[in-house]
């Protein structure tokens, strides 16, 4: 419908000898029913060019477009907005699209099947996934689903930082437990990990277990002095546990990349040398510096320290060079807000390579922290993790559906309070329950009517004239725009909010209307409408990785 209106606008502009690009045509959906189903500000945009008042231009547009079977009227509002009101035939056309596309309704091909990589979670394999990782997992996985629905070929990737001091501390912590050294002992590693999960790893290592990760088997030798084997087994143990937690969170990945792989074959050394050859480095204080100020940073940054080791962002530059070489047109990194400082450095390193990478590549979505509350008090500690709330604990407490919804319910750059009591409640205040209950209610009506959702077709809907009915029709045909908006803004929360509002509109309709009535035509029309609503709710929940139960 938006394309139809856009074509009408372009045809009218041609009549005025005005050439206009698609991006100059804005078509909105007014919230109020009395403002129509669609609205455009094209007359205001052309006012200066045509040297006429916007309302005069709008009047010419309305006259030129004239009557159209899909619109009951065109109205000029305010300073020159043109409002389009769908006719009954127009509403039928929109509902027909829902029933013809069904589970694909809302999808489009705006991405043109171009390649897109989304990196998310990317937790260090040094402990269980915490609630921050959970928010990253929910946002990243939903983005992958949404971009796929918008016609992108999406690759979901997890990057393991399995090298460096933290990994050494993990191995030393497990070794200390193997030697019966407790975290309270003076001999326990100062920067060691103190959660009970270290005991779990040590016990598994003692029993000489084998763990398979990504098709590779890691076997514990049981030798408490074999620090290399302890390290490899501990990483495998935690990677396996993280994978299980993510699977329970309905989150899977296409590719796992290890930071340690870039230390092989001198890949990092080669990238650093390329940057040096391009004259973007200098030496100072026995260290090698990158001229990041030439790419917008506030000061230059050390790449290689005096002891020969590389600073943390250098492997990231190598990793993203690898992404570019794999042919990804777009790359989106979903990470915690603490990664903000690395954005400029990574992009500077990529630009310094001078291999044609765009300046704003990769893109970033940074999420803020999550505060978990229960009984109106903040929950800070998981016994097993030792110092934070784990994703596994939260899923066990409130379930996967509620956890996913709550973690994407606000924009990523907003801090989030996760209320466990609310997430567990079966009440209208719990948005995920409220949405799922709307779907279950519709399924119950269809069951009583002995009507399968697959056998519904659009009937005569002229009888659907109440404010609730018109508002619901208007709401469900907005769904494709929300799917596109969520991708454009890289924010799943638009879908979460939309579904909550749709559920609210439906529940109001349900409470005020009857569906299994003697008037056969009205009954068919109402059944058709609520079936379309169910399709939209199910499609929306699917894009959020949330189930759409038929009974509750």
* 222/220 Cα distance (integer angstroms): 6
* pLDDT of 460 over the 70 cut: no
Q: Which CATH number fits domain 2-86: 3.40.50.300, 3.30.1360.70, 3.30.1440.10, 3.90.1150.10?
A: 3.30.1360.70
Q: How far apart are CA 249 and CA 121, in angstroms?
A: 12
**pLDDT surpasses 80 at 19:** no
Cis preceding-peptide flag for 362 (omega within 30 of 0): yes
* CA dihedral for 190, 196, 198, 199, sign (positive or negative): positive
Question: Order of strands, edge to edge, in the sheet holding 27-28?
Answer: 27-28, 38-40, 81-86, 71-77
Mean pLDDT of the chain: 93
CA angle 430, 432, 438 (to 5 degrees): 100
Mean pLDDT of 439-464: 80
Does domain 92-108+427-543 correspond to CATH entry 1.10.730.10?
A: yes
| Number of other CB atoms surrounding residue 9 within 10 Å | 23
- If DSSP codes are grouped into helix, strand and coil, which group holds residue 71? strand
**Which DSSP string do the residues of 486-510 spell out, in sequence order?**
HHHTT-THHHHHHHHHHHHHHHHHH
3-state helix, strand, coil in the chain (%, to 5): 50, 15, 35
CA dist list (Å): 138 to 176, 257, 367, 507:
35, 20, 11, 27
Task: Report the SS3 class of residue 147.
Answer: helix
| CB-neighbour burial class of residue 306 (10 A; exposed 0-12, middle 13-18, buried 19+) | exposed
Q: Are strands 153-160 and 115-119 parallel, antiparallel or unpaired?
A: parallel
- Residue 38 to residues 175, 195, 468: CA-CA distances in angstroms? 66, 56, 18
Q: What span, in angstroms and rounded, lies between the C-alpha atoms of 392 and 200?
A: 16
pLDDT at 454: 62
Contact partners, residue 302, CB within 8 Å, separation at least 6:
287, 288, 289, 290, 311
Cα-Cα-Cα-Cα torsion 421, 427, 430, 434, nearest 10 degrees, comes to 150
Containing H/E element for 290?
Answer: strand 287-290
Q: Output the pLDDT for position 515.
A: 92
Domain residue ranges of the chain, discontinuous segments joined by +: 2-86, 92-108+427-543, 120-253+368-424
pLDDT in tens, 368-402: 999 999 999 998 877 677 778 899 999 999 999 99
Q: How far apart are CA 378 and CA 390, in angstroms?
A: 14
- Write out the two tokens for 211: 């763990």
H helix intervals, 179-266: 197-206, 227-248
What pLDDT, in 10s, does the model give residues 408-427?
999 999 999 999 999 999 99
Q: Give me the residue label for tokens 């934070």.
A: 388
pLDDT attached to residue 488 = 96
Q: Which tens digits make up the pLDDT trace of 308-330?
A: 999 989 999 999 999 999 999 99
Nearest Cα to Cα of residue 503 among 424, 451, 433, 455: 433
pLDDT tens-digit map of 250-293: 999 999 999 989 988 889 999 999 999 999 999 999 999 999 99
Q: 120-253+368-424 falls under which CATH superfamily?
A: HUPs (3.40.50.620)
Q: Which residue has the tokens 């391009």?
A: 278
Top pLDDT among 354 and 265 is at 354
Cβ-Cβ contacts under 8 Å for 324 (sequence gap 6 or more)? 331, 350, 355, 357, 361
CATH topology agreement for domains 92-108+427-543 and 120-253+368-424: no
Predicted confidence (pLDDT) per residue in 231-251, tens digit: 999 999 999 999 999 999 999
**What are the structure tokens assigned to 339, written together?**
């990664």
Which pLDDT score, from 0 to 100, does residue 383 have?
67
**Which tokens belong to 525?**
């029309």
The CB-side HSE value for 545 (13 A sphere, CA atoms) comes to: 29
Distance of CA 248 to the CA centre of its chain: 18
Confidence of residue 465 (pLDDT cuts 50, 70, 90): confident
Look at the block and give the residue holding tokens 């937790």.
123
pLDDT of residue 313: 93
Model confidence, pTM: 0.92
């Amino acid at each position: 419908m938006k394309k139809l209106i856009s074509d009408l606008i372009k045809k009218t502009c041609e009549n005025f000898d005005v050439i206009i690009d698609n991006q100059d045509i804005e078509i909105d959906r007014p919230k109020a029913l009395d403002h129509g189903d669609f609205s455009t500000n094209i007359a205001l945009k052309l006012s200066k060019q045509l040297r006429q008042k916007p309302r005069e231009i709008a009047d010419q547009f309305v006259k030129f477009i004239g009557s159209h079977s899909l619109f009951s009227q065109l109205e000029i509002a305010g300073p020159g907005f043109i409002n389009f009101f769908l006719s009954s035939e127009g509403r039928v056309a929109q509902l027909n699209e829902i029933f013809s596309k069904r589970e694909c309704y809302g999808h489009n091909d705006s991405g043109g099947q171009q390649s897109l990589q989304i990196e998310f979670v990317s937790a260090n394999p040094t402990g269980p996934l915490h609630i921050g990782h959970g928010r990253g997992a929910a946002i990243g996985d939903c983005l992958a689903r949404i971009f796929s629905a918008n016609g992108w070929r999406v690759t979901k990737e997890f990057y393991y930082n399995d090298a460096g001091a933290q990994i050494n501390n993990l191995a030393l912590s497990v070794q200390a437990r193997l030697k019966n050294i407790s975290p309270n002992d003076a001999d326990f590693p100062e920067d060691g990990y103190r959660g009970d999960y270290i005991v779990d790893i040590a016990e598994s290592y003692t029993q000489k277990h084998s763990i398979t990760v990504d098709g590779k088997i890691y076997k514990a030798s049981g030798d408490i002095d074999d620090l290399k084997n302890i390290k490899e087994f501990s990483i495998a143990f935690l990677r396996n546990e993280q994978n299980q937690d993510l699977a329970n969170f309905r989150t899977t990945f296409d590719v796992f990349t290890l930071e340690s792989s870039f230390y092989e074959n001198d890949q990092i050394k080669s990238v650093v040398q390329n940057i040096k050859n391009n004259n973007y480095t200098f030496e100072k204080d026995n260290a090698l510096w990158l001229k990041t100020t030439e790419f917008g940073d506030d000061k230059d940054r050390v790449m290689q320290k005096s002891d020969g080791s590389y600073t943390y962002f250098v492997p990231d530059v190598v990793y993203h060079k690898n992404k570019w070489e794999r042919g990804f047109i777009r790359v989106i990194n979903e990470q915690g807000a603490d990664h903000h400082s690395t954005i400029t450095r990574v992009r500077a390193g990529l630009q310094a390579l001078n291999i044609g990478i765009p300046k704003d590549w990769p893109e970033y979505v940074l999420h803020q922290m999550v505060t978990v509350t229960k009984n109106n008090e903040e929950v800070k500690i998981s016994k097993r993790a030792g110092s934070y709330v784990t994703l596994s604990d939260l899923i066990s407490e409130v379930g996967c559906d509620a956890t996913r919804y709550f973690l994407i319910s606000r924009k990523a750059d907003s801090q989030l309070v996760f209320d466990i009591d609310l997430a567990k409640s079966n009440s209208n205040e719990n948005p995920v329950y409220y949405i799922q209950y709307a779907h279950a209610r519709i399924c119950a009506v269809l069951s009583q009517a002995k009507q399968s959702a697959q056998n519904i077709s659009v009937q005569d809907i002229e009888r659907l004239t109440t404010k609730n009915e018109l508002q619901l029709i208007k709401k469900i045909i907005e769904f494709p725009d929300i799917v596109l908006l969520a991708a454009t803004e890289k924010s799943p929360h638009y879908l979460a909010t939309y579904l909550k509002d749709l559920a609210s509109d439906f529940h109001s309709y349900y409470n005020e209307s009857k569906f299994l009535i003697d008037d056969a035509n009205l009954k068919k029309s109402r059944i058709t409408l609520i079936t379309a609503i169910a399709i939209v709710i199910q499609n929306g929940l699917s894009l959020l990785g949330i189930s759409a139960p038929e009974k509750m």
